[in-house]
């Protein structure tokens, strides 16, 4: 067995399709969609230049594994620094059965360490991938999950297992939630902020990103080029973006998407960006998301947060922290500035948009 690891080229995509056909849950339509999304990530990244965006492993003329390495720019403690987003690790199931999954994964991570000249951010791991990272000694952090219940009946049915009792108790719980929501709205009634739909991110969002570099400690640079690439221009993207302006300047935005199932639709706050010290703007962005999803009759709304300043405001809006935080790790921490600062979770501002959930989700908002 002679396995070779190299960078992905456009001509490799037919063989990538052969590998994608081994992924559980992907029919042929799903294979073709994921292939197009991989091409978008690999060859349309606005920060990539001539750098490798995917590494692949070859054996006997076929592609047996891949991992994404997306060049990015990070704002870290007020400085703009180069970095990478590591994602989309997959190994052919036959090679996993042969015990080669560990070997290939470790080989990929070694290649990434050697060929990346700055930190690499690795979000939202499956248990097996997280174990690989622990063996490599990468610093491990986590993003907390939050959930807001809009329809308590569904949640209570899961707990009580009795339909009548769940519906009866749901009336009481819904009354509490509506009352609490009323007083929250009453408190913020004296403030006025208008939320508008974003059809395309422009220079005003570049200005926002520059201003936020002094208030959001660590975050991917949310430039207009990056935001359009990820949320607007990406194939199959059907997300909704909303923004707030003050005196002609954009002061925050939120990106919304759908999750859950047809029977139990769930709203998702994919991305949110604003000055965490501007509690009113954060409130109105979150309120806009709640109202948006109420119109679509979702059962609940989920998000993930690392910045405690955002979490505090979301908690006041009755988003409750739930179990099962999303782990993320840092590769090449020794090549980064402010190492102690970087490995402190509370310094990060991460959302669902900073994960594979966004890049490879093809479910539209309805």
Question: Does residue 81 sit within a domain?
Answer: yes
pLDDT, tens digit (0-9, with 9 covering 90-100), for 103-161: 999 999 999 999 999 999 999 877 888 888 998 999 999 999 999 988 866 666 666 66
| pLDDT score for 364 | 44
Same domain, 56 and 195: no
Any domain includes 357: no
Summarize the confidence of residues 323-346 as an average pLDDT: 92
In percent, the amount of the chain with pLDDT more than 70 equals 92
Average pLDDT over residues 46-68: 94
Residues 63 and 152 in one domain: no
243 falls within a domain = yes
List C-alpha distances in Å: 11 to 8, 50, 192: 8, 16, 53
Cβ neighbours of residue 263 under 8 Å, at least 6 residues apart? none
Q: Are residues 152 and 48 in the same domain?
A: no
Q: Does residue 215 sit in the same domain as residue 302?
A: yes
Higher pLDDT, 261 or 60: 60
User: Does 201 lie in the same domain as 297?
Assistant: yes
Within a domain: 284:
yes
Residue 232 CB partners (closer than 8 Å, separation 6+): 199, 200, 201, 241
Does residue 56 lie in a domain region?
yes
Report the pLDDT value the prediction gives residue 365, as an integer from 0 to 100: 43
Beta carbons within 8 Å of 205's beta carbon, 6+ residues apart: 222, 223, 224, 227, 243, 250, 253
| Count: domains in the chain | 2
Cβ neighbours for 83, distance < 8 A, ≥ 6 positions apart: 71, 72, 73, 74, 118, 119, 120, 121, 336
Are 3 and 58 within 8 A, CB to CB?
A: yes
CA distance 47 to 41: 11
The whole-angstrom separation of Cα 122 and Cα 133 is 9
Domain region containing 260: 144-325
155-185: pLDDT as tens digits = 666 666 666 666 766 666 777 777 777 777 7
CATH code at position 217:
3.40.630.30
Is this model's pTM higher than 0.85 or not?
A: yes
Residue 333 resides in a domain:
no
Are 113 and 233 in the same domain? no
Strands 195-198 and 79-91: unpaired
Mean pLDDT of 270-287: 95
- One domain for residues 181 and 82: no
Q: Is residue 248 part of a domain?
A: yes
Q: Are 166 and 238 in a shared domain? A: yes
Whether pLDDT at 260 is above 80: no
Co-location of 171 and 320 in the same domain:
yes
pLDDT tens for 287-334 read 999 999 999 989 899 999 999 999 999 999 999 999 889 999 999 999
CA separation for the pair 316, 320 (Å, rounded):
9
Q: Are residues 107 and 18 part of one domain?
A: yes
Q: In this structure, are 29 and 153 located in the same domain?
A: no
Structure tokens at 295: 């119109």
Q: Give dist(CA 91, CA 110) in Å, integer.
A: 16
DSSP element (H, E) containing 59: strand 54-59
Give domain status of residue 351, yes or no.
Answer: no
Q: What is the pLDDT of residue 166?
A: 64
Mean pLDDT score across all residues of the chain: 89
């Amino acid at each position: 067995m002679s396995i070779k690891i190299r960078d992905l080229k456009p001509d490799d995509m037919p063989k990538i399709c052969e590998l994608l056909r081994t992924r559980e849950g992907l029919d042929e339509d799903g294979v073709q969609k994921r292939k197009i999304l991989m091409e978008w990530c690999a060859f349309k990244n606005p920060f990539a230049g001539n750098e490798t965006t995917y590494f692949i492993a070859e054996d006997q003329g076929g592609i047996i594994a891949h991992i994404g390495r997306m060049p990015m720019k990070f704002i870290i403690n007020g400085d703009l620094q180069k970095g990478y987003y590591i994602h989309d690790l997959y190994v052919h199931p036959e090679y996993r059965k042969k015990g080669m999954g560990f070997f290939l994964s470790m080989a990929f991570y070694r290649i990434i360490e050697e060929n990346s000249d700055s930190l690499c951010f690795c979000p939202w791991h499956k248990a097996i991938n997280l174990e690989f990272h622990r063996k490599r000694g990468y610093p491990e952090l986590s993003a907390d999950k939050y959930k807001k219940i809009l329809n308590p009946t569904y949640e209570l049915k899961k707990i009580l297992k009795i339909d009548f009792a769940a519906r009866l108790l749901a009336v009481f719980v819904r009354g509490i939630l509506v009352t609490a929501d009323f007083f929250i709205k009453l408190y913020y009634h004296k403030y006025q902020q208008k939320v508008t739909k974003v059809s395309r991110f422009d220079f005003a969002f570049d200005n926002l990103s520059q201003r936020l570099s002094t208030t959001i400690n660590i975050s991917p640079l949310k430039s207009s080029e990056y935001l359009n690439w990820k949320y607007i221009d990406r194939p199959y993207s059907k997300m909704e973006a909303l923004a707030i302006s003050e005196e002609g300047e954009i002061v925050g935005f939120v990106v919304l998407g759908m999750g859950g199932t047809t029977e139990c639709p769930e709203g998702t706050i994919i991305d949110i960006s604003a000055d965490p010290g501007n509690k009113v703007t954060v409130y109105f962005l979150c309120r806009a998301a709640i109202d948006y999803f109420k119109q679509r009759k979702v059962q609940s709304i989920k998000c993930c947060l690392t910045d405690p300043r955002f979490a505090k405001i979301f908690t006041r809006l009755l988003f409750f922290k739930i179990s099962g935080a999303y782990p993320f790790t840092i590769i090449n921490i020794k090549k980064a500035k402010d190492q102690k600062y970087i490995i402190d979770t509370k310094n990060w501002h991460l959302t669902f948009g900073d994960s594979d959930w966004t890049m490879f989700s093809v479910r539209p908002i309805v």
